[in-house]
Structure 1
Amino acid sequence: MRGKTHCTIGVLVGIQVSLIFKIPISLFNIIVSAIFSILPDLDEPNSLISDFFLNKNISKFIYKALIYFINIIIFFTSLKINNNFYLSSIITFITIVIIEAKLTHMFLRKLFLSLIFLLLAICLYLIKSRVYFIFFTLILSLFPWFKHRSISHSIFSTVLMFFLLKQIELIYSISNLSFFGTVGYASHIFLGDLFTKQGVPLLYPLSNKKLSLCSFRVGSFFSNLLEILFIVILIYIIIYSIIKI
């Protein structure tokens, strides 16, 4: 399922569940539902949530600048060693081809995303923030390195997310953070990717087997049409619930 669909469903489900359980909802709660509904895809460098934390154009610019910088360093280092322009050029060309094959933009993007959360965790530690908040950011720093649709798309990660958010909620008195965060996170898995052809490993790490309730291919015309239909149905249910109240 596409990122924008996950986000929309997360917000709509958050609103609907708040109506069912009569829990007051605010703009902050809606934002929490939206962010956590796309958070599981932090294990995908090209996802909407990855772009939220690190713009793709910025990471591409940094990647190109880094390659050029490495290229210059290799050339002048080689030139200083052998004092031969042509030989240094050949050495630089061969070396940079090897480096570019290993140091890809996606690898560097994962590294940058991970560093963002690691730096945040360090900052939280320096200001003597509570351990649960630090632990939460450290977990997010690991997400980019997980295989796509593995532990981040499991029941275990959903329960862990609720536990951490609940501790943060109690410590900082953030009303209903764990409720809307978990609802948004769960909507991604149980009302989204579970209905795609690839499926999700709900019992990971106990089992790697991916469960799928449908065989819709993400991005296909039929799948996109069904996503729109599902959103329309959710909006209808919300309107109906409001009228009944």
Structure 2
Amino acid sequence: MMGKAHLAISTGVTLSVLGLADAHITLPVIAVAAVSSLLPDIDEPNSLIVSKTIPTGLVRLIKLLVLGFAAFSFFFGSAMAPWNVVISLLALLISFVPTRTFRNVIMVLLGVTLILFGHVFIPWGYIIGCLLIVCALVPHRGLTHTFYGVLGWTALLYFSTHSYDQILWIAGGLSYLLHLLADAITNHGIRPLPPFKFRLKLRLMSTGQFSGTIVENVCIGLTLVLLWFVFFRNIDINSIRIG
């Protein structure tokens, strides 16, 4: 299922469930639900969340800067010889690694930085830092597309945010789980409990095909109906006056 469909369905259903439970829905709750709806795909370089957070253009720009640093060190760092040559060669090698590998290195470095210096943004610095490191090291549809991923993300949210807002970890865990359930209706499905080979798949759609787009749009439409029923059905349109 495409990222935009995950964003609409998982976020919409999560907020609707919270609304039915009379939970206090705040902007952080909405943000956590939205991010969690895309989170399982963070290990995929072409996913919506990765392409927006660390776009390919940014990765290429950083690689060019590293290449420029290599040239600068080689031609203007003679005072540090022979270390300037060593540094230049290392930077040159780094600039030519595959884009996906380079992006993973950036994610790990950002994660370590946020963990070490993110105390100002508690708890978000720790959460995002841990998340970036883990997701840079796992294969696509690996750990993030399992029930272990749901438990890990929910636990991370709980222990880092329960003293601030009891609803945040529920919203994040539920939205993450809904992403997996949405992927389970595809032909590929998910392996929820590795190393067991059991695969959860309903074969109702194939992502990227016309039939799959129809199924996605139907699910999005049903989500919008659910949102209307929970949040807007009691609004009297006639009482709304403009001007």
- Pick one of 100, 106, 118 that aligns with 1:112: 106
Rate the CA distance shift 1:136–1:73 in 2: closer, same or farther, 3 A.
Answer: closer
Gaps of 5+ in 2: 83-88, 236-243
Matches within 5 A, 1:79-158: 103-124=97-118, 134=126, 137-158=129-150
Paired residue type of 2:52 = F
State the partner residue of 1:84: none
Shift of 1:160: 1.8
Is 2:107–2:132's contact at 8 Å kept on the other side of the alignment?
no
Distance 1:7 1:151 in 2: 20
Q: Deviations over 1:12-34 (max 9, x none)?
A: 11221112212121232211111
State the partner residue of 1:234: 223
- Pick one of 193, 212, 223 that aligns with 2:212: 223
Matches within 5 A, 1:165-204: 165-171=157-163, 173-190=164-181, 192-204=182-194
Shift of 1:66: 3.3
Q: Deviations over 1:60-107 (max 9, x none)?
A: 22224435655787899xxx99xxxxxxxxxxxxx9xx9699711111
Bigger shift: residues 65-74 or 20-29? 65-74
Distance 1:163 1:100 in 2: 35
Paired residue type of 1:195 = I
Rate the CA distance shift 1:201–1:70 in 2: closer, same or farther, 3 A.
Answer: farther
Distance 2:47 2:138 in 1: 14
State the partner residue of 1:91: none
State the partner residue of 1:87: none
Q: What TM-score results when the alignment is normalised by the length of structure 2? A: 0.77
Matches within 5 A, 1:3-152: 3-67=3-67, 103-124=97-118, 134=126, 137-152=129-144
Is 2:185–2:204's contact at 8 Å kept on the other side of the alignment?
yes
Identical positions, percent: 23
Shift of 1:116: 1.3
Shift of 1:43: 0.8
Distance 1:165 1:100 in 2: 34
Gaps of 5+ in 1: 82-94
RMSD over aligned CA atoms reads: 3.3
SS of the residue corresponding to residue 165 of structure 1 reads helix
1:161 aligns with 2:153: yes
Distance 1:102 1:199 in 2: 35
Bigger shift: residues 46-55 or 111-120? 46-55
Q: What TM-score results when the alignment is normalised by the length of structure 1? A: 0.77
Shift of 1:142: 1.8
State the partner residue of 2:238: none
SS of the residue corresponding to residue 43 of structure 1 reads coil
Distance 2:94 2:128 in 1: 33
Distance 1:138 1:25 in 2: 25
Distance 1:174 1:159 in 2: 18
Distance 2:95 2:109 in 1: 22
Q: Deviations over 1:157-193 (max 9, x none)?
A: 111211221112233x124110111121111111x21
